[in-house]
Amino acid sequence: MAKKRLIPFGLLKIPINRELFQVKAKGVGLPPGSLIHVGKQKAEKPVINLIDYDQTHFETFTDISLDEVVACRETTSVSWINLSGIHDVKLIEEFGKRFDIHPLALEDILNTHHRPKLDEHEGFCLIILKMLFFDEEMQTLETEQISLLLGQHYVISFQELEGDVFDGVRDRLQRSSGRIRQRGPDYLAYALIDSIVDSYFHILEKVGDKLVQLEDQLISNPDASMLATIHHYKRELLLLRKSVWPLREVVSQMHKETSPLISEDTQIYLRDLYDHSVQVIDTLEIFRDTITGLQDLYMSSVSNRMNEIMKVLTIMASIFIPLTFIAGVYGMNFEYMPELKWRGGYFMAWGLMAGCAIGMVIYFKRNKWL
Amino acid sequence: MAKKRLIPFGLLKIPINRELFQVKAKGVGLPPGSLIHVGKQKAEKPVINLIDYDQTHFETFTDISLDEVVACRETTSVSWINLSGIHDVKLIEEFGKRFDIHPLALEDILNTHHRPKLDEHEGFCLIILKMLFFDEEMQTLETEQISLLLGQHYVISFQELEGDVFDGVRDRLQRSSGRIRQRGPDYLAYALIDSIVDSYFHILEKVGDKLVQLEDQLISNPDASMLATIHHYKRELLLLRKSVWPLREVVSQMHKETSPLISEDTQIYLRDLYDHSVQVIDTLEIFRDTITGLQDLYMSSVSNRMNEIMKVLTIMASIFIPLTFIAGVYGMNFEYMPELKWRGGYFMAWGLMAGCAIGMVIYFKRNKWL
Amino acid sequence: MAKKRLIPFGLLKIPINRELFQVKAKGVGLPPGSLIHVGKQKAEKPVINLIDYDQTHFETFTDISLDEVVACRETTSVSWINLSGIHDVKLIEEFGKRFDIHPLALEDILNTHHRPKLDEHEGFCLIILKMLFFDEEMQTLETEQISLLLGQHYVISFQELEGDVFDGVRDRLQRSSGRIRQRGPDYLAYALIDSIVDSYFHILEKVGDKLVQLEDQLISNPDASMLATIHHYKRELLLLRKSVWPLREVVSQMHKETSPLISEDTQIYLRDLYDHSVQVIDTLEIFRDTITGLQDLYMSSVSNRMNEIMKVLTIMASIFIPLTFIAGVYGMNFEYMPELKWRGGYFMAWGLMAGCAIGMVIYFKRNKWL
Amino acid sequence: MAKKRLIPFGLLKIPINRELFQVKAKGVGLPPGSLIHVGKQKAEKPVINLIDYDQTHFETFTDISLDEVVACRETTSVSWINLSGIHDVKLIEEFGKRFDIHPLALEDILNTHHRPKLDEHEGFCLIILKMLFFDEEMQTLETEQISLLLGQHYVISFQELEGDVFDGVRDRLQRSSGRIRQRGPDYLAYALIDSIVDSYFHILEKVGDKLVQLEDQLISNPDASMLATIHHYKRELLLLRKSVWPLREVVSQMHKETSPLISEDTQIYLRDLYDHSVQVIDTLEIFRDTITGLQDLYMSSVSNRMNEIMKVLTIMASIFIPLTFIAGVYGMNFEYMPELKWRGGYFMAWGLMAGCAIGMVIYFKRNKWL
Amino acid sequence: MAKKRLIPFGLLKIPINRELFQVKAKGVGLPPGSLIHVGKQKAEKPVINLIDYDQTHFETFTDISLDEVVACRETTSVSWINLSGIHDVKLIEEFGKRFDIHPLALEDILNTHHRPKLDEHEGFCLIILKMLFFDEEMQTLETEQISLLLGQHYVISFQELEGDVFDGVRDRLQRSSGRIRQRGPDYLAYALIDSIVDSYFHILEKVGDKLVQLEDQLISNPDASMLATIHHYKRELLLLRKSVWPLREVVSQMHKETSPLISEDTQIYLRDLYDHSVQVIDTLEIFRDTITGLQDLYMSSVSNRMNEIMKVLTIMASIFIPLTFIAGVYGMNFEYMPELKWRGGYFMAWGLMAGCAIGMVIYFKRNKWL
C-alpha cells in the first residue's frame, strides 16, 4: 500500500500520496535479469491458487504447492494459476524454471513499480498492469501491480496481495455461463484485463462524484482548505493517468500484433476493450480539464471576494479621511482661530464635513465604484 | 436528460450540467456482451417505426411489433427501422437475435454513455453518435445517444427518446425528392449523420450568439457573475467537444475504409460530410480560444478597475495623512507651544497644510500617477 | 462584409468583428447538394466577365450572359470566367448544368462561410479560398470567399463582390508578358492563388506595423485602453489564422496529388507557392507570440506601476501613523499630564516624533524599500 | 541591418529590433519570377570574388566582372563565386542567364526576407540560409541572408554585405589543409553551412552569458527595468528560432534526398551537421524555457517584496489604529468626562494603549504574521 | 564539473548550476573533424585501463600505454578499454589512428557538451551518453560525458574523470557470474548503458525525496526562500531532461536498426533497456508536473496568507475610522458646541461609537467577511 500521511495544511489535513514519487531503484551494477523484489511486502505468505477448466470440467485448487501446479501443465485444459504475494523471490525463480520464463520477465514481475506493458517472449506473453483501489477514508488511490503470463494452455497471474477485481470472472467460470468456458487462455486473459478496466470506470465514477461535491462546495462556500483539496485530487488524477495511459498502448498492441497466442475470435473483444480504455482516458482528460477549471474558478472567486472587501475599505477610508482632517483642524489650540468664536461655527463645521462626504459619494457613484 | 441544478453563486444562479462527469460503470465482472441498460430511462415505452421504400414505392408503419419488422427483412427495398426508447433490454436482445447482431454491439447500443465510434462487424456496421439539443432556458446542452446499424438492406436507428433531427430526411423520403429514394441504405445512413452534423451547426450558432452577448456585457458592464457564466460555457464547450471530436474520426473511417456496405457513389458525400465535421471542430476550437480570451479580458478589466480604486485611496490618503498630522500637532495641549500664541499662527498652519498638499499633488503629477 | 459595431470600453471604442463567430447553418434536413446561399448578399446584381486567350489571341467580354459564356467552351483557348455576386442561386444552378458541376460543389460555392479546401471531382477541381482585405478605418479584416473551378480549358472564379486582387494577373494577360499566355488554365489558377497569397503578405505588413505602434505606445505610455486593443488584434489574428492554415493544406495537396488537370511544368511554381504560404504561417505565429508577449508586458507594467504607487502609500502611512499617534496622546485632556507642564515638553514631543520618523526611514532604507 | 531604436521604458532604454515584423511584400500581381530586390540595400556596390581550386592548384580573383567569372565555368576545377551586394537586380539577372538559373530561384535570392530552405532545380540546388551577428552594443541580433547555389562544378554564394563567417573556409582552401581541396563543390557547400552553424554556437554562447548575468542581477537586485530586458531577449530568441528551425529541415533534406550533386562521401558530414543543428535547437529551447522561468521568478520576487511591504503597513496600521482612537477619545472636550479628573487617568490611558498594542502583537505572533 | 556559485537570494543561498547554458563553441572556420577538447579538464592525467576476457579467461591491465592496448586487438577475446581523461587531444588522435576511428567521431568524443546520440560508422558504433551524479551538498546534478565505441571485438569507453557507475559490471566480469562472460562486446556495451540508466533511477529517487521534503515544508511552513528552491529544482530537472530524452532515442535506435555489431540475442535486453528509459522519462515528466503544481500551491498559499492579513487590516480600519472621526469631532474647540455641555454627553459619544462599531461588525458578518 502507498505511504500516506496526514499533514496539517493551515487548518485542514490533506492526505499525501507518495506513490507518484516512487521509482524503481534496484542496485546499480546488478546484472539484468537479477531477481530482486522492488516495492513493499504486502502479503504475509505467498498463496497459489489454481483453476483448471475446459468446456466440460471445472476444478479449483486453493493454496497448493508449486509441484501440484506443474502437474497441471500436461493437460490441454486451460489452467489459471494465481499467485498472491510476490515478495518470495525464491518461489518466483522456481516458477521461472518450471515454466521456462525468461529472467528479464521475472525481473519485471518482481518490480512492482513497473510501467504497464506487453512483452512478447518465446512461448508466452507478459502483460503488466495496475489494479487500482480507491480508499474512501483517505480519498487516495491505492495501486497494486498485476502481471499476467499468457502461455499456450495457461494464464499465470501474479498479484501483490490477495483480494482482487476478478471475482466476476471466477463466478462466470464456475457457473459456466457465457463464452468463457468454451474458449482458450487468451479469452481468459482478456476477461481479466476487462475486469481491471471495468474497475477503472468505478474509480472514475467515485472521483467524478468528488469533483461534483468539490464544485458545489467551491461555489457555495469557498475557503482556503479547498486549494489543498484541489491539489490532492490533481495528484490522484496524475497517478491514475500514469496507470491508464500505458494500458491503452498495451491493449492496442494486443489487438494489432498477431501473436499466435491470441486467436482471431478474441480480436473483436480486444477491439471492444480498446474502446473502453480510450473512454477511460477521455474521461480522465475531461476530469483534468475540469479540475484546472475549478482551480481557476477558486482563484478568481477568492480574488473577487478580496476585491470587494478592499473596495469597502477604500471607500470608507476615502470618505472619512477628509472629515477627520477637518475635525483635526478645529481641534487645534491656536489662540486666534476666528471660526471657533462664531456662534454657528460648530454647525458650519458639520456642514462642511457633510458636504465633503456627499461630494465623495457622488464622485464614487459617478465612477460606478459604489 | 442530464442532471441539472441551480446553485447560488454569490448573487447569481448557474445551471450545473453533470453530463460531463457521467461514466459508464456496468457491474464489475459481468461478462462482455452482457446486456444492461446504462443511463437514465428517458422514454416511457419503446416505440418501433418503420419506413420501407425503394425508387417506386414508399410505406410508413408506426408503432409496430418486432415481428412485423422482421417481415420486412425479406424484401430488397430499403427499410429504415427506428426504435425510440432503448431501456427495454429484452426487446433489444430480441432485435439482436432476429438481425444477427453481435452481443458486443448490443451492449454498446444499450450503454448511453458511449463514445461516438464506428465498428465494422460481419454483415453490418455499428455507428454510435450523439444528438445534441440546446436547452434555451437552462442554457445547457442535452445529449442523446443514437446508434445506427447499417445492414445490407436496412438501417436501424436506436434512440433514447422520440423526437429527433431527422424530420428533414423523412420529408425527403416521402416527397421522393432528390437522390435519396434511388439509393441504398448507405446513403440513408449518410443522410442521417448529415442531419446530426447540421444540427451541430445550429448549436454552434446559438453558442456563438451567447459568446457575442457575453462579450458585449463584459465590455460594457463586467460584474462578478460573469465569471460563473464563462465557467459554465467553458464546460458546455467541453461537452460539445467530447461529442464532436470522435465524430470526425467516425466519418473519416467511413470515408477511408472500403466496407462492402458503402457504395462508391456515397463516398463523395462522405468526403463532404468530413469537411463539415472538420468545420464544426474548427469553429469549436475558435470558440474555446475566444472564451479563454474573454476570461483573460474579464480578469484584466476587473483588476484594472480595482487598480483605479486603489489609486484614488492611495492618493487621498497620501495627501491627507501629513495634513492630519499637522492638525494633530497643533491640537496638543502643551503649556508652552509658542506657535499657538502667534497672531497669525492659525493661518500659518493652514499655509503649511496647503503647502504640503500642493507639494504632494505636484509630486504625483510628475510621476504621472494622477 | 462582416458585422461590426463600436462598443464603449471604459473610455475607448473597439470595433467588434463578428466574423469569427459566423457558422454556416443551412436548414436542418435539407438534402446534401441543396443550393442555398449562406452569407450576406454583398453585390447588387451578378456580373459575368470572360477573358479568353491563348498564345496568340486575347479577348475580353464584360457583363455577358451565361449563353455567351458557354459558347466559349468549344474552343481550346483558355477561358477565365469570373462571376461577381453569388447570391443568385438560379444562376449558379444554371452554371452547374452547363459546366457539369457536381451539386455538392455548387453547394460549397454558395456557402460563403466555407473553410478553404481543394476537392477533386470528375473533370474539374474545386478550390475554395478567402480573399482578405484590411479595413484601415475600423482596423478590422474583411474576408471574401472566392471559389475557383479549374477545368480542362477554363477557370471559373466565383466572387462575392466585384473588386479583387487579380488586377495584376489581368494586366499580365493583356500585356502578354511572361509565361502566362503560353500556359494552360492550371497556370492561370496558380497565378490567381499566388495573387491571393501575395495579398496576405500585404495584410501581414499592415498588422506588423500596428504591432510596432502598439509596442511603442505600450512602452511609452501604457493605459487601460491598450488591453482592449490587444484583445482586438488577437482576434484579428485568429481570423487570419482561420483563413491561412487551411490554405497551406490546399497548396500542398495541389503540389502532391498528381491531378491530370495540373501539368508538371506548373509543379515548380506550386512548390514556390507552398513556400510562401509556409512563410505567411510562420509570420502569423510570430505575431501571435509577439502579441502574447505584449499582453504579458502590459500586465506586468501595469502591476509594476500599481506596486510603486502602493509603496509610496505604505511608506507615508507607516511613517505618519506613529507620529499622529504621539500628537494624539499630547492632545488628550487629562488634568494630570506631567509632560504638558514641562517647559520643553513641546520640543520634546517634536524630538520624539522626529526620532520615530528617522527610525522608520532608516528601517525602510535598510530593507531596500525606499 | 535591422531597424532599431532606443525607446524610454520607464527609466530605462531598450533597443527595439524590428526584424521580427518584417515581411516580404512584393507588388501584388507581379508575375512569379519577377526580379525585385526586397529588403534594405546594405552594400554600396556589388563585388564578385572567385576562388578556383582543385587538388593541385589554387587561384583567387578579387572584384572581377561577370564575364571573367563565366570563363571559369569551362574548367573542371571547383569554382567558388561569391557575390556581396545583391541589390543590383540587373547583375543578378545576368547571373541567371549565364548560369541557367530558374527565375523563381533568382526571385528567392533577391528577397532577403526569405525563410531558410532548400530547393532542388535542374542542374543546381538553391540553399537559402541566414547568417547571424550579435551586435554587442545594442544587444541585438543582426541577420543577413545568404543564398548558396550548388552546381556541378561551382558554388555561388550571394551575400548582402561583404564580411562573413567564411574566413576559416578560405584559410583552409589556401593552406590546402584537410580534405577540402580534394573534394568537390558539395563539400565546399557543406563547409560553408558548417561555418554558419558554428557561428550560431557563438551567438548562443553570448546569449547564454547574458542570461547568466540576467539571472544574477535578478536574484541580487531585481528592479522594474529587468522586465523590459527579459522581453527584449525573448524577442531575440524568437528571431534566432525563426532562422534556426528551418535550417534543421534544410540540412535534413540535404542528408536524406539523394541529389546527384551531393556525393556519398559528403553524407557522413551532413549527418554530423544535422546533429549540430539539432543541438542548436535544443539549446535554444532550453534558453526559452529558462527565460520563461526567469520571468516567473521575477514576477514572484516582485510580488513577494510587495507582500512584505504590505505586511509591514498592515501590522503598523492595525496596531496604531486603536491607539490613536483611544488618544482621540481622551482628547474630546466634554465637560463631564470623569476619567480626565482622575489623578492616574493619564497613566491609565497609557496602560490601556500599551495593553491594546501588546494584545495585537500577541495576536499577530500567534497567527505567524510577524 | 559544472560552474556553481552561492548567490544570496533575499535571505537564502541557492546554488546556481551553469551547466544548462553551456554550449559548444569550437573556433569558427575550423574544418570538420578538427580535434579540439571542448569543456573543462577534469582529470589530471589520462589513464588507460584494459579488461580482456572471454568465457574462460579474464585479465585486467591498469594504467597501460596505448601500444599495450593495441597488442590486444589481435585476439578474438572481448577487450574493454577504458580511458579516463579525454583532454589529451594527442592521445585521442593516436587512438583514432590505431583503431581506424573517423575524425568526426573523434571530434564528438572530445566535445564534452555533446548531445547523447548513436552514430553508426564503418566497423564501429559511437554511442555518446551522459553519466549523472547528484551532489548532495550543493543539491545539484553533475554531468560527465561518456562515449562508447563498440567494435568487432572491443568496447572503448572514454570518460572525463576516473570514477564511474560501472563497478557492478566489473564485478560481474571478474566473478564470471551471469551471461556477461559468455557474450560479445555488444552485450558489454548494453551492460554499461544499463548501469547508466540504473544510476538515473537513483538520481530520480533522490530528487523524488527532495520533492517530498519540499512539499512537506511548503505545506507546513511556506516562506519566501521556497521560490528559489523550486526554481532551482526546476532547472535541475531541465538538465536531467536534456540528458535523458535523447537517451531514449539512442536505445530505440540500437533496438531497431539491425547493425551487424549487435547480435540478435542482445535485442531482448535492449528492449528491456528501452522500457527502463521510457520509465525514467515518465517519472521525470511526473516530477515536472509535480514541481509546477508545487509552484502553483506556493503562489496560492502565499496569496491566501496575504489576503488574510489584508482582511484583518481592512476590518480593523473600517471599524475604527468612523470611531476616530467621532472622537475628533468632539475634540474640536468651538465655543458653542451644545453636546459638550450635556451631562451625559461623554457617555452619549461612547454610545454613538459603540453603535457604529457594532453596526460595522454586523455588516461584515452578514457579508461573511468575518
Q: Report the length, in residues, of chain A.
A: 370
> How many CB atoms within 10 Å of residue E3?
12
Backbone torsions φ then ψ of C334, nearest 5 degrees: -60, 145
User: Residue A128: CB partners within 8 Å, gap ≥ 6?
Assistant: A108, A109, A114, A115, A116, A117, A118, A145, A146, A147, A148
Cell reading at E314: 481592512
Q: Cβ separation of E268 and A346 shorter than 8 Å?
A: no
Biggest CA–CA distance in chain A, Å, is: 121
Residue ranges of the alpha helices (H) in chain A? 66-72, 89-99, 103-110, 167-175, 185-220, 225-256, 264-329, 338-341, 345-366
ipTM above 0.95, yes or no: no
Q: How confident is the model at residue E1 (pLDDT cuts 50, 70, 90)?
A: very low
Rounded to an integer, the average pLDDT of D196-203 is 89
Distances (CA, A) of D162 to C88, D44, D108: 60, 10, 20
Which residues lie across from E79 on neighbouring strands?
A: E52, E154
Q: Can you read off the three cell numbers belonging to residue B231? A: 465557467
CB E53 within 8 Å of CB E173: yes
Contact A211 B343 (CB under 8 A): no
Q: DSSP of B172-232, one letter per residue?
A: HHHHT-SSGGGS-HHHHHHHHHHHHHHHHHHHHHHHHHHHHHHHHHHHH---THHHHHHHH
The domain A4-300 belongs to what CATH superfamily? CorA soluble domain-like (3.30.460.20)
CATH code that applies to domain C307-366: 1.20.58.340
To the nearest whole Å, the CA of E217 is away from the closest chain A CA by: 10
Interchain contact, A211 vs B21, CB within 8 Å: yes
If pLDDT is split at 50, 70 and 90, which confidence band does C343 have? confident
- Residue D55: Cβ within 10 Å count: 11
Are B21 and A208 in contact (CB < 8 Å)?
yes
Q: Number of helices (H) and strands (E), helices first, in chain E?
A: 9, 9
Cell of A61: 485448487
D133: pLDDT strictly greater than 60: yes
**Three-state secondary-structure class, residue D61:** strand
C-alpha cell of residue A173: 467460470
User: Torsion angle, CA of B186/B187/B188/B193, rounded to 10 degrees?
Assistant: 90
Helix (H, G, I), strand (E, B) or coil at A80: strand
Give the chains touching D; criterion: ≥3 Cβ pairs < 8 Å.
C, E
CA separation for the pair B275, C131 (Å, rounded):
20
At the topology level, CATH places domain D32-300 in Beta Polymerase; domain 2 (3.30.460)
The number of angstroms, rounded, from the C-alpha of A77 to the middle of its chain's C-alpha atoms is 38
- What residue of D is the nearest CA neighbor of E334? D333
The arithmetic mean of pLDDT across residues B53-78, rounded, is 85
The pLDDT of residue C188? 93
* CA separation for the pair C197, C204 (Å, rounded): 11
Q: Compute chain A's Rg from CA coordinates.
A: 34
Residue D260 in this model has a pLDDT that exceeds 80: yes
- Partner-chain contact D31 C314, CB within 8 Å: no
Q: What is the pLDDT of residues D284-301, one digit of tens each?
A: 888 888 888 888 888 777
Q: Which residues of D touch C216 (CB under 8 A)?
A: 7, 16
Distances (CA, A) of C89 to C22, C71, C95, C162: 21, 22, 10, 17
> What strands, in cross-sheet order, belong to the sheet with E117-121?
E58-61, E47-53, E78-84, E154-159, E140-150, E124-135, E117-121
Q: Do D29 and C335 touch (CB under 8 A)?
A: no
B106 close to B78: Cβ distance less than 8 angstroms:
no
**E306 closest CB neighbour out of D209, D289, D310:** D310
Q: Which CATH superfamily is domain C8-19+32-300 in?
A: CorA soluble domain-like (3.30.460.20)
Q: Which residues of D touch C174 (CB under 8 A)?
A: none
Chain A 179-208, residues with CB within 8 Å of chain B CB atoms = 179-180, 190-191, 194-195, 198-199, 201-202, 204-205, 208
Angle at D173 between CA D169 and CA D179, to 5 degrees: 95
pLDDT in tens, A113-160: 888 999 888 889 999 999 998 888 778 888 899 999 999 889 999 998
pLDDT at residue C23 in the model: 60
Cα dist from D98 to A117, D70, D189, whole Å: 63, 7, 21
Residue B22's pLDDT band, with cuts at 50, 70 and 90, is low
In tens digits, chain A (370 residues) has pLDDT values of 334 433 333 333 444 455 556 665 555 556 777 788 877 777 778 999 999 998 888 889 998 988 888 877 777 889 999 999 888 888 999 989 988 898 889 988 988 888 899 988 888 999 999 999 888 877 888 889 999 999 988 999 999 888 888 888 888 888 876 678 888 899 999 999 999 998 898 888 888 888 888 887 777 777 767 777 888 888 888 888 888 889 998 998 888 877 888 888 888 889 889 988 988 898 888 888 888 888 888 877 777 777 777 777 778 888 888 898 888 888 888 888 888 888 888 888 899 999 999 998 898 888 777 6
Residues of C in contact with B300 (CB under 8 A): 227, 299
**What is the distance, to the nearest Å, from the Cα of residue D276 to the centroid of all Cα atoms in its chain?**
18
How does DSSP assign A169-210, residue by residue? HHHHHHHT-SSGGGS-HHHHHHHHHHHHHHHHHHHHHHHHHH
pLDDT of D230 reads 85
Which among D7, D31, D343 is the nearest to C172, CB-wise?
Answer: D31
Q: Which residues of A touch B102 (CB under 8 A)?
A: 268
Flag whether residue A348 sits within 8 Å of chain B, measured between CB atoms: no
d(CA C227, CA C236): 14
Cross-chain Cβ contact D219/E320 below 8 Å = no
User: Residue A367's CB: how many other CB atoms inside 10 A?
Assistant: 12
Report the CATH fold assignment for B33-300: Beta Polymerase; domain 2 (3.30.460)
∠ CA(E48), CA(E52), CA(E53), 5° rounding? 155
From E274, E368, E259, select the one nearest E315 (Cα to Cα): E368
C-alpha–C-alpha distance, residues B23 and B36, integer Å: 14
Which has the minimum average pLDDT: C284-298, D47-61, D211-225? D211-225
Q: Quick one: residue A178, left, alpha or beta (phi over 0 = left, psi -120 to 50 = alpha)?
A: left
Residues of C in contact with B175 (CB under 8 A): none
Asked if C369's CB is within 8 angstroms of D346's CB, the reply is no
B130: closest CA of chain C, how far (Å): 16
CB contact under 8 A, D29 and C314: no
Checking if the pLDDT of D225 tops 50, the result is: yes
Size of interface C-D (CB pairs under 8 A): 181
C-alpha cell at A229: 483539496
Q: Which residue of A has its CA nearest to E296?
A: A231
On the question of pLDDT at B28 being above 60, the answer is no
Q: Kindly tell me the sign of the dihedral angle through the C-alpha atoms of A156, A161, A162, A167.
A: negative
The 8 Å CB, 24+ separation contacts for D340-349 are D340/C333, D340/C334, D340/C335, D341/C335, D342/C334, D342/C336, D343/C336, D344/C336, D345/C334, D345/C335, D345/C336, D346/C332, D346/C334, D346/C336, D346/C337, D346/C338, D349/C332, D349/C334
Nearest residue on chain E to D329, alpha-carbon basis = E327
Has residue B8 got a pLDDT over 50? Answer: no
How high is the pLDDT of residue D4?
41
CB atoms within 10 A of CB E25: 18
| pLDDT attached to residue D213 | 83
Residues of C (264-283) whose Cβ lies below 8 Å from D: 268-269, 271-272, 275, 278-279, 282-283
Give C100-158 pLDDT, tens digit per residue.
898 889 988 988 888 899 988 888 899 999 999 888 877 888 889 999 999 988 999 99
Q: Is B165 on the interface with C (CB under 8 A)?
A: yes
Which residues in chain C are contacts of B209 at CB distance < 8 A?
A: 21
Distance from CA of B332 to the nearest CA of A (A): 7
Compute the distance between CA of residue D272 and CA of residue E109 in angstroms, rounded to an integer: 13
Give, in order, the Cα–Cα distances in Å from E60 to each of A218, B190, E47, E52: 69, 76, 14, 6
Whole-number Å distance between alpha carbons of C63 and D131: 53
Average pLDDT over residues D42-55: 87
Pick one of 1.10.1370.40, 1.10.8.350, 1.10.760.10, 1.20.58.340 as the CATH number of A305-366.
1.20.58.340
Whether E56 has a pLDDT exceeding 70, the answer reads yes
- pLDDT greater than 90 at residue D158: yes
Q: Inform me whether the pLDDT recorded for D86 exceeds 90.
A: no
Contact list in D for residue E119 (CB cut-off 8 A) is 271, 275
Query: Confidence band (pLDDT; 50, 70, 90) for E15?
Result: very low
Residue E260's pLDDT band (cuts 50, 70, 90): confident
Over residues C237-265, the mean pLDDT reads 86
The predicted pLDDT at position A27 comes to: 52
Name the residue in chain C with its Cα closest to that of D114. C279
* pLDDT at residue D190 in the model: 92
Lowest mean pLDDT among B172-176, B328-332, D83-87, E250-254: B172-176
Where residue A108 falls (left for φ over 0; alpha for ψ -120 to 50; beta otherwise) is alpha
Domain E4-22+32-300, CATH: 3.30.460.20
Partner-chain residue, chosen from A32, A332, A346, that has the shortest CB–CB distance to E336: A346
Q: Does the beta carbon of D257 lie under 8 angstroms from any beta carbon of chain E? A: no
Q: Can D32-300 and D306-366 be said to share one CATH topology?
A: no
Helix (H, G, I), strand (E, B) or coil at E58: strand
Angle CA E192–E196–E200, to nearest 5: 165
Half-sphere exposure of C286 (CA within 13 A, CB side): 27
What are the residues facing C133 on neighbouring strands?
A: C142
Cα atoms in the 13 Å half-sphere on the side-chain side of D197: 28
What is C309-364 written as a DSSP string?
A: HHHHHHHHHHHHHHHHHHHHHTT---S--HHHHSTTHHHHHHHHHHHHHHHHHHHH
Residue C283: exposure state from Cβ atoms within 10 A (0-12, 13-18, ≥19)? buried
- Taking the Cβ of residue D14 and every Cβ of chain C, the question of whether any pair is shorter than 8 Å is answered with yes
Chain A 82-121, residues with CB within 8 Å of chain B CB atoms? none
Domain residue spans of chain A: 4-300, 305-366
CA nearest to A173 within chain B: B31
According to DSSP H, which parts of C21-158 are helical?
66-72, 89-99, 103-110
A322–B327 C-beta distance less than 8 A: no
Q: Which cell is D225 given?
A: 527595468
Higher model confidence: residue B281 or residue C75? B281
Beta-carbon contacts of residue E98 (< 8 Å; ≥ 6 apart): E66, E69, E70, E73
Q: Which of D23, D30, D226 to mutate to test the interface with C (most CBs of C within 10 A)?
A: D23
Place of cell 463584459: B218
User: Distances from the Cα of C193 to the Cαs of C276, C283, D203, E23, E42, in angstroms?
Assistant: 11, 19, 39, 44, 61
- Report in angstroms the alpha-carbon separations of E289 from A242, A280, B222, E17, E211: 12, 21, 34, 21, 12
Contact C26 B282 (CB under 8 A): no
Please give the backbone phi and psi of residue B337, each rounded to the nearest 5 degrees, phi first: -120, 100
Interface of E with A in 206-245 (CB under 8 A): 208-209, 211-212, 215-216, 219-220
Q: Is any Cβ of chain C less than 8 angstroms from the Cβ of D309? A: yes
Interface test with A, best of E334, E339, E364 (most A CBs within 10 A): E334
* Pairwise CB contact (< 8 Å): A329 & B327: yes
pLDDT at B85 > cutoff 60: yes
Q: In this complex, which of D166, D208, D334 lies closest to E23 when CB atoms are compared?
A: D208
In a mutagenesis test of the A interface, which of B6, B18, B28, B291 is the best target, namely the one with the most A β-carbons within 10 Å? B28
| Architecture label for domain B304-366 | Up-down Bundle (1.20)
How confident is residue D2, by pLDDT bands cut at 50, 70 and 90?
Answer: very low
Which of E28, E104, E114 lies at the smallest CB-CB distance from D268? E104
Say which CATH class D306-366 falls into.
mainly alpha
> DSSP letter string over E59-114?
EEE-S--HHHHHHHTTSSSEEEEEEE----HHHHHHHHHHHT--HHHHHHHHBTTP
Mutate to test the interface with B, among A133, A195, A296, A325 (most CBs of B within 10 A): A325
Looking at residue E23, its pLDDT comes to 60
